[in-house]
Amino acid sequence: LSSFKIAVIPGDGIGQEVMPEGLKIIELAANSVGITLELMQLDWACADYYLAHGVMLPEDWKKQLDGVDAIYFGAVGWPEVVPDHISLWDSLLQFRREFDQYINLRPVRTFAGVPFPLAGKAPGDIQYSIVRENTEGEYSSVGGVMFANTDREVVVQQSVFTRHGADRVLKYAYELAASSAPDSRRLTVATKSNGMAISMPWWDERAKAMSNNYPDVVWDKQHIDILCARLVLQPERFDVIVATNLFGDILSDLGPATTGTIGIAPSANLNPERVFPSLFEPVHGSAPDIAGKGIANPVGMIWSGAMMLDFLTQGDSRGRQAHDVILKAIEMVLANGPRTPDLGGDASTKEMGDAIAALVSASF
């Protein structure tokens, strides 16, 4: 295939500002390797779709996304106006659930020239992938409030884990570790089986059972609290980390923070079987505190786009080439080029995007 249909959802806040940079660069790279992207722009966000319609998505949203190969997503959220649990549960989280995007792959690495806050560590010490379960676990709407608005108020929120759900994310993580270079075949399973007496001991058992299929992978399990500490103190210990939904969410802001900024971090919400479209988005949110200033770091958005091209064309060297050229350009601009304020520079989002685009263009 050489042509892909992409649903483009810039969303809210800085999602609107980083998306044009992402699009500019992925279109340039795709065209250069002979891939055509057919873009379908969608205004599904808090501003102004929710304000106008009172819902995050049109009723026929699935029909509108029929035939789409991937979703390129900025960020959603405008907490002052729309409660986060409505805006996110009904948009991003709904895509993940309904399109069974059960893998959230979030690579973490340092870049030359980007200062990071860990003392005594070399840049190469931080390089690992977080594999986050993305459709179940702690993110659930099972539960309720009893005796509401009284002194006896009781709130229950259930976590939901399935054998199918745990096994498939564990399998993906073991496969990823097994396919890594021989000295990087380490997998850490995030757990909390000392405090959560039912779900987490069971999760540990599933991980152990899966490990039997991967004798080449050195695996361990670590409680989420000490795992957070070790990501700061000994990040060089990690290659692949697999975690349930909430733990994976927390780790995937912590990891990028240790590399200097969360503004560069990408994510791929994958339906590996390709029955449904996958979704590619930066790890960060709509950043209301800097929205409208044109200073958001566009790298997370751009890198996510590179991951999208690679995933779409799996088995085809063109997508891989487009991905690699974009990553190289990101590396060069992070090292020498104009940088946004989160990186200590004073460049605008557009200046940084333009610099990356120029290098991509020059690479073909």
Kindly list the residues in this chain that would bind ligand IPM in the complex (CB under 6 A): 88, 93, 249, 283, 285
Q: Which residue is nearest to ligand IPM (CB)?
A: 88
Q: Distance (Å, rounded) from C-alpha 81 to C-alpha 208?
A: 45
CB of 91 to ligand IPM, least distance (A): 9
345 contributes a contact to ligand NAD by CB under 6 A? no
- The strand pair at 143-146 and 154-157 is best described as antiparallel
- Which residues in 90-119 contact ligand NAD (CB under 6 A)? 92
239, 249, 351, 354: residue in contact with Mn ion (rule CB under 5 A): 249
Q: Distance (Å, rounded) from C-alpha 176 to C-alpha 187?
A: 9
- Which residues in 217-276 contact ligand NAD (CB under 6 A)? 262-263
Nearer to ligand IPM, 246 or 358 (CB): 246
Nearer to ligand IPM, 191 or 244 (CB): 244
* Cα separation values, 336 from 127, 298, 322, 330, Å: 21, 16, 21, 10
281 contributes a contact to Mn ion by CB under 5 A? no
Chosen from Mn ion, ligand IPM, ligand NAD, none, partner binding at 133 (C-beta under 5 to 8 Å by type): none
Residue 57: strand, helix, or coil: coil
| Two structure tokens written together for 4 | 């892909």
Nearer to ligand IPM, 269 or 313 (CB): 269
Q: Distance (Å, rounded) from C-alpha 166 to C-alpha 177?
A: 17
CB of 37 to Mn ion, least distance (A): 27
- Which residues in 293-332 contact ligand NAD (CB under 6 A)? 296-297, 300
Chosen from ligand IPM, Mn ion, ligand NAD, none, partner binding at 263 (C-beta under 5 to 8 Å by type): ligand NAD
Q: Distance (Å, rounded) from C-alpha 286 to C-alpha 301?
A: 12
Nearer to Mn ion, 69 or 249 (CB): 249
Chosen from ligand NAD, Mn ion, ligand IPM, none, partner binding at 93 (C-beta under 5 to 8 Å by type): ligand IPM
Q: Distance (Å, rounded) from C-alpha 314 to C-alpha 303?
A: 17
DSSP string covering 109-165: E--TT---S-TT--GGG-EEEEEEE-SSBT----EEEESTTSTT-EEEE--B--HHH
CB of 93 to ligand IPM, least distance (A): 6
Nearer to ligand IPM, 256 or 319 (CB): 256
Please check whether residue 192 is in contact with residue 223, taking contact to mean a CB–CB distance below 8 angstroms. Answer: yes
Beta bridge partners of 187: 219, 240
Nearer to ligand IPM, 304 or 348 (CB): 304
Number of CB atoms found within 10 A of residue 49's CB: 21
Radius of gyration of the CA atoms of the chain, in A: 20
Q: What is the DSSP letter of 50?
A: I
Can you give the binding site for ligand NAD, defined by CB under 6 A? 14, 75-77, 79, 84, 88, 92, 262-263, 281, 284-290, 296-297, 300, 340, 342
Can you give the binding site for Mn ion, defined by CB under 5 A? 249
